[in-house]
Chain A
């Protein structure tokens, strides 16, 4: 009681207020962490680059000015220029849309297929769990990047196929998490109560299991979004994505690597943009997982 009395008074009545009003999830989002705020800021910039790249740069990403080649970063060329005199900032900005869309596509595949597998395995149990659980274990034993390489090779080299490949290689991770989340929720008392008052399997699934599992699934999806950017750009780096003039982030680094010694910004500018985006996604994923 002493400890309670020592608390600032304002915090006490607030907790006792009944909260019956329906609140949208967005209303619950309150950013308490400085790092998360910075991460969101970075992600907003990246999103804006993806949506309207024209607003951020006056340069054409594919038109080079030979006289300006290998210009170091300056006010004119924020990230400098490359061997053909193309503005690297423009190339990074115009490459954002493809990076975001392909990563989104990859996550969608992993989430949908993996989610379905995990949901069926966890929710229906027994034979389906034995079979699908084994499938997840088997997929987990294959190194993700290697699986992505073999998929993209058998589909043909293109950025879209690279995204599909990365998506397929993330099915197992999503399947494992969703299966275990469903199992965790399924065995709780409120699920049993729902069955007892006459809830059907699908009521239980949609009213209880999914709402209780979504937070950790969302956290994983955001994390995988960042990892997909890395894997897709890795495939592009090896040349399994779209052919050169396209400003894919991985390709930008690959093209710049031959000039690393004398013109390091060709590698560092696109590389650091990638790191900043992915680390922001990691931070966001962490704070979604923790719930703040």
Chain B
């Protein structure tokens, strides 16, 4: 009466296990980087006269963070705490780090989600237009867009968005934090640089698929442009594009710091910015770990979805 585990379930389980190990790895690596680098952020925070700690409080906090122990002991304590989802106490807010970050998560997820949708639409539009427009009608120019978007610092993009859409066109007021506009324009700021790699990979993949023999055969049999794109080119270009789109997610979290600062939104980005100014390292460590969890989770899902999209991969996944 042996329980038979399907190979797919085994594969999924091992991938989830790897992802969890990777999250632990991220926490350890960040911990080591912060501890090994010159400068001890906790004591420089505590000894900052601005925050006015007494010697007793400093002693207490140092022993709470086990900063009087060796690196490995500190790491052990931190991991033991992490194992029940506790990232420690915030240095500046005197609240658990998880509670501090939790406040910002809904707003930032909304922003990053909208930005992701906008980036995909933008990338899709640019790629299809660049693929079909002949060079003299702007096809060549469109191919330069991803490179241009990649070359713009996102704080500059944010200020251009404010200047053009608020100051020149009057579409929204920058001191409006409630309406849909307060979401769309920051999301656009985040989406423009994020769309660049997606569009770039998509254009390359479309060109690659177009050069394949099946495309030539289909054209010689008189297929319409639309059917060529929807039946032959898109399915083949979709996989690399999906891969790069999943990788972009990490940049959205990083970009939210500057975007939220420019548009005055509160969220994980503004919490990170505040924590950075106050050298509140536990909050930063937790934020990095959460961003890595999001990144790894989305990439895991994408990897698991591949076989559903591409029949050629089904056999491979099943035998692994």
Q: Which residues from chain A sit less than 8 Å from chain B, CB to CB?
A: 134-135, 137-139, 141-147, 149-156, 168, 226-227, 230, 233-234, 237-240, 250, 253-254, 257, 260-261, 264, 267, 271, 274-275, 278-279, 281-283, 286
Q: Which residues from chain B sit less than 8 Å from chain A, CB to CB?
A: 22, 25-26, 29-30, 33-34, 37-39, 41, 44, 147-148, 150-156, 159-160, 162-163, 167, 250-251, 253-255, 257-258, 261-262, 272-273, 275-277, 279, 281, 284-285, 287-288, 291-292, 295-296
Residues of B within 8 A of A138 (CB): 22, 25-26, 29
Within the complex, what minimum Cβ distance (angstroms) separates B224 from chain A? 32
Question: With A144-B254, A146-B257 in contact, do A233 and B26 touch (Cβ < 8 Å)?
Answer: no
Question: With A154-B37, A275-B151 in contact, do A146 and B288 touch (Cβ < 8 Å)?
Answer: yes
- CB–CB A142/B288 < 8 A: yes
- CB–CB B29/A135 < 8 A: yes
- CB–CB B147/A279 < 8 A: yes
Residues of B within 8 A of A238 (CB): 257-258, 261, 273, 276
- CB–CB A153/B41 < 8 A: yes
Nearest-neighbor residue (CB-CB) of B290 within chain A: A146
Residues of B within 8 A of A139 (CB): 29
Best-surrounded residue of A142, A233, A261, A275 (most CB of chain B within 10 A): A142
Besides A139-B29, A238-B257, 5 new A-B residue pairs in contact (Cβ under 8 A), listed by A number = A138-B26, A138-B29, A233-B153, A233-B155, A278-B152
Nearest-neighbor residue (CB-CB) of B167 within chain A: A261
> Which listed residue (B44, B153, B250, B272) contacts A234, Cβ 8 A?
B153
Residues of A within 8 A of B296 (CB): 141
- CB–CB A230/B288 < 8 A: no
Interface of A is mostly: helix
- CB–CB B151/A279 < 8 A: yes
- CB–CB A147/B288 < 8 A: yes
- CB–CB B254/A155 < 8 A: no
Best-surrounded residue of B22, B37, B39, B272 (most CB of chain A within 10 A): B37
Nearest-neighbor residue (CB-CB) of B27 within chain A: A138
- CB–CB A150/B155 < 8 A: no
- CB–CB A150/B34 < 8 A: yes
CA distance A285 to B273 in the complex (A): 32
- CB–CB A283/B147 < 8 A: yes
Within the complex, what minimum Cβ distance (angstroms) separates B293 from chain A? 9
- CB–CB B292/A254 < 8 A: no
Question: With A168-B33, A234-B258 in contact, do A149 and B153 touch (Cβ < 8 Å)?
Answer: no
Question: With A142-B288, A151-B37 in contact, do A260 and B159 touch (Cβ < 8 Å)?
Answer: yes
- CB–CB B251/A271 < 8 A: no
- CB–CB B30/A282 < 8 A: no
> Which listed residue (A150, A226, A253) contacts B288, Cβ 8 A?
A150
Residues of A within 8 A of B25 (CB): 134-135, 138
